[in-house]
Amino acid sequence: MIRVRHAMALDAGSMARLLNAIIEKGGTTAMTRAVTAMDIKNLMSIEPDRSAWQVALDGTEAVVGFQWIAPHVKLPPEACDIASFVQLGRTGLGIGSALFDATRKAAADLGYTWINATIRADNEGGLTYYQSRGFRDWAIDHDVKLDSGQVVDKISKRFDLK
């Protein structure tokens, strides 16, 4: 059984380990360098009144996924950006759906009218996940250079809350 709750600073270590495994595997996130618990805590502290962080816990209370929304400088104030991460080997089990149910409500509670997801064009799982939630394409950025030097296209998808 998956349970979702607001993330706390105490979750930062578990979230960093989960994300680092995804970064190390490569191919899905634009992030290319490992993160620390402090990196996660610092991200959580940016505009806390306009952000929301959720964690998904399994029956043992281990973090198996997390998701956050936050403002982004490239978006208008009525929109927030979303990031989603599910433990390797645990995708397709409803974790992402449970996280998005909580995140969608949090976005509306924060006064946002739409959510932006920007996904690497070669991340088929991410594109499918957001499409299945009702996100639709609205922008494409070609030839984006990642910190690793790799060049990818990125697709931005939009979910209207109203």
The C-alpha R_g of the chain, in whole angstroms, comes to 15
pTM of the model: 0.92
Superfamily for the 3-160 domain: Gcn5-related N-acetyltransferase (GNAT) (3.40.630.30)
Contact 79, 92 (CB under 8 A): no
The first and second tokens of residue 82, run together, are: 């979303």
pLDDT along the chain (162 residues), means of 10: 95 97 82 92 95 95 96 96 92 88 98 96 91 96 88 95 90
Domain ranges of the chain: 3-160
